[in-house]
Every structure is written in structure tokens, then in C-alpha cells.
Amino acid sequence: MVVFRISRYEAGDEDPHYVSYDVPYQDGMRVLDALNYVRDNIDGTLAYRWVCRAGQCGSCSILVNGMACLACQEEVDKTQDVITLDPLPLFPVIKDLIVDFDKGYEKLYASEPYLKRSDDTISQKEIEDEAFQQLKTFRGCIECWCCVASCPVVNQIWDDYFGPIVMRKLCELDIDPRDLGERVELAVNEGLYNCTTCRNCWAVCPEDIELPEKAVEKLRARAVREGKGPLEGHKQLVRSIDNYKNPWVMPRSRRAKWAKGLNIPSKGKLMFFAGCSPSLLLGDRLPYNIVVVLRRLGFEVAYLGKDELCCGSPLLKVGEEDLYRELAQNNIKLMQEKGVKTIVTTCAGCHKSWAVDYKEFFGDYGIEVKHVTEILWDAYKEGKFHFRGLEENNIRISYHDPCHLGRGSGVYDAPRNLIDAIPGMELVEAPRNRENSHCCGSGGGVKTAKPDVALKVGSERVHMFEKLDVKYVITCCPWCEQHIDDSIKYSDSDLGLTKDLIEIIEKTMEIDSDE
């Protein structure tokens, strides 16, 4: 038997309530099969939607253990003690798992989601193949609304933001050469720059549509080319990267201040890419500790010093694609000239740039990219070090998955494995974690130009951690660390300030005596 805890509600109820049902498990069964069993054998009043049972109609979208999905596609995990089913959030509940999508469709219709064309517009046969393939991808959307229900920004400011489904439709129409509508201008006016590019919409999309990269970032690039973007709050950041090769309006000579006295070579097979924020904005301990830790383990690490450039991620996120391409190509060329075989990163944004985005734009450039936690976990498994039992580590903590490191680059296990290996430290997972982790709110240029939006999203994340009775939160991204701390202060929360995992490892690790 598998226990299903299902949210029940009907008109007249003050609040929804849960009812649990025992359902016999069968190999390969989906959540929709369990719902049908409950309705047919236990309670015929249970209300939920379904039509095709093939992931094509989008009607059976619900939350399964807090993650939006299609009930007909989600396979039942018989190892779980309880599987909780809820209606999609954000939308008014009609009955049980059925919600009213009217508000969503009102926003979609307001975008005029149809071709606006004249009689002499080109035919479909004349559309270039690349654009045609993009159109096919976008047209795969089945309007299940999982992306909208999962969007951390929509859940805070939907009145000021069209949301993922509409942005996808606007990008589709903008790509289509037959359309004559002002789609980019409409997108900017309706919140295009509110998206944090956290990729939660992609993570829950049953059609695997990469909305942040394929729709939002492309619309932003079009906005820049048409003089409609980026926002005023982004312009100093762009100028700073163009002039100083960092977003913080700081001279390049200050970038390597943290490395003074370490005598790190500027070329080698293993290159540490420190990144702008760890080097210039958040103090010098994080990059310093990383070099110290790697050297303890016998790694010969190199560092470009003041010649290190911004990875370009902020440029890509705000739509400055031409500047981004130039900077990224210079970065790749510099690493190749230095004989680099492996790049080690600490910033989640830098990691996604090197490991994912550069390859998307320029193909495989012949260099492996590792996050520092991946290198440390491999070293731990090989027995190169262990963790001492420290009284200060006998606490409950939670881990925040950075969007660009988790959903962006697929690094979930290494940080958790290292935390689990620290004696006394108890990892308590937030309800939304791993692929369904809630964004901290600082990505996509939102913190720079829309700080109020960023804090609203960040405060929601803080509230999730507050309920766990943890001492503090650990993360592996300087942007997340800074913004969660800002959100803690903004929320007047008692949660302790965030720590980077490397800070704890540096204090706790001990090299084994036989090494």
C-alpha cells in the first residue's frame, strides 16, 4: 500500500483539509492511476481533472510533494511513506484538486496570442529552418500552467508580471517573421526583467521547454538591439563590465588583492576562476580559503590575478548578448593560452557560464569545468581528508540549492555529501529543494534593477527555512549568500546569517596522516 494525502476542499469549507487514502501499489503506476483508484473504490466525490492520460492536454496538473507536474506522467515512488497531493498554488480552488485558470488566460489573451499579419506576409514555407525549429519547440507548450504556479516571481507580483507562459508566447510570436506585433515592447512593459532566470519553470515543464534561455534571454537580447532594454538600473552594471571587466565599478587591480602573499602562478592545468563577487564584493575569505584548502590536498592551483575577467553572466541575463559574446570568447582564449585543462569555480553563476553557457554559444572548447565542492567530494571519497568533530558543528542546518549550480549545472549531490560527512551536523531539507528549489531572488539582474522584487522572493525563501528550526543556511553561491542575508534582515528573521560551505570545510577538514 502507498498512502496518498490529498487536499480536499469544496465551496462552503473555511479552509482545505487533508484526507489520507491507502492505495495498492502496482509497478509503473502513475499518480493519476492512484487518483482514479480512490475515486472508483474509496470516495467517488474526489474531484480532479484529466483527459488524455498521455501528457498532451495538460489538464491533470497538480502538486506532488510540492512540485508541479502532470498526474498522468508522475510515477509513484513506493519508497515514500506518504505522497502529498495539492492543487496548483496561485489559482483559486474550485473543488479538491481542480483550480480556476481564468486569471492565467486573461493574461494570455491580453498579450494578443495570435499572428498579427497582413495579406502579403511570407508563407510558413519561407521561414528559415532555425526559426522554424524554435517555433516548433515553443508550440509544444500544452498550457498546463505548471511553470506559472512554480515561478517564485509570479507568486509574489503576478499583477506586475505576465509570467512564463505569456513570455514564451511573446517570444514565439517575435521569432515568427509573419507576425507584425510589437512583442518585445509588450514583454518589457509587462515584466520581462522581473524574471530571475531561476529555471524552475523549465524544471517542471512536461515538454522540457527551456524558457529562461530560449525565451526570456532572447527577448531581452532583442530588447537591447531595439533600444528597449536593459533597464536603467542595469546600465551602470553593463558599463562597469565593459570598462572594468567586473560589475562593481572597481579597478581591475583590486581583483587579486585577496591573493596577496599566496604566490599563486598565473598559468597551469588547474585554474581557479575566483569570480567578481567573491573577489571584490564579499570580502576576501572565500577565494582565499579555496586556495588554502586545495593546496592542503596537494593540488597545484593557478589563478589569473588581475587578468581574470568577468564571466559575463550578468551581461547575458540582461540581454547584452554582443558584449557577452566578446567577453566570453576572450575568456576562453585566455584559458587556452594558459594551458588550462580544468577550471574550478565557486560562484554558481560563473560555473554555469563556463560549464553550460559557453558551450551553448561556442561549442566544446576543450576544458573541463568543476565546482569546488565536486573536487572536494572526490578527494574525500579517495580518503585524502576527513572532518574533525567540532562542538560548533553539532547543529541543524539547511542547504539552499543555487539556481545556476543546481538546475543550471546539475550539481546537487556534492555539497550535500560533504555536509553529511561533517560529524554532528544535521542536514534538514527545505520542502522545496534540489530540482524544485525555491530561488533566492537575486538572479537574472533582478537584484540590480528590481531590488524590491528580489527581496519579496528572498523573504519567501527565508520563511521556508524559518519553519525548519535550523541554526543557519549553507549555500555554495556568493550571490545567494548575500541575498539570503539581505532577505533575513528585510524579514526581521531570527534565522542565523548564511554560510558558504567552504567556510565550514576550511575550519573542519583534517588531512589524513598517511597522506
Distance CA 427, CA 122 (A): 58
Instruction: Please tell me the distance from the alpha carbon of residue 59 to that of residue 72, in angstroms, as a whole number.
Output: 10
Interatomic CA distance for residues 148 and 158, integer angstroms: 9
Helix boundaries (H) for 71-210: 102-110, 129-138, 146-150, 154-157, 164-175, 183-189, 200-204
What pLDDT was estimated at residue 254?
92
Peptide bond into 278 cis (omega under 30): no
pLDDT at 514: 54
- pLDDT of 120 reads 65
Q: Which residues of the chain have pLDDT under 70?
A: 119-125, 283-284, 513-515
- Give CA torsion, residues 293, 294, 296, 301, to 10 deg: -140
Give me the residue label for grid cell 576527513: 386
Cβ burial of 497 (10 Å; 0-12, 13-18, 19+) is exposed
- pLDDT of res. 259: 93
Domains and CATH numbers, the chain: 2-99 (3.10.20.30), 102-225 (1.10.1060.10), 233-377 (3.40.50.1860), 381-511 (3.40.50.1860)
Residues 204-223 pLDDT 10s? 999 999 999 999 999 999 99
Rounded to two decimals, the pTM is 0.93
**What confidence score (pLDDT) does residue 119 get?**
67
Residues contacting residue 117 through CB under 8 Å, at least 6 positions apart: 178, 179, 180
Q: How far is 341 from 172, CA to CA, in rounded Å?
A: 39
pLDDT at 263: 94
What's the longest Cα–Cα distance across the chain? 80
Q: CB under 8 Å to 130, separation ≥6 — which residues?
A: none
pLDDT on residue 228: 96
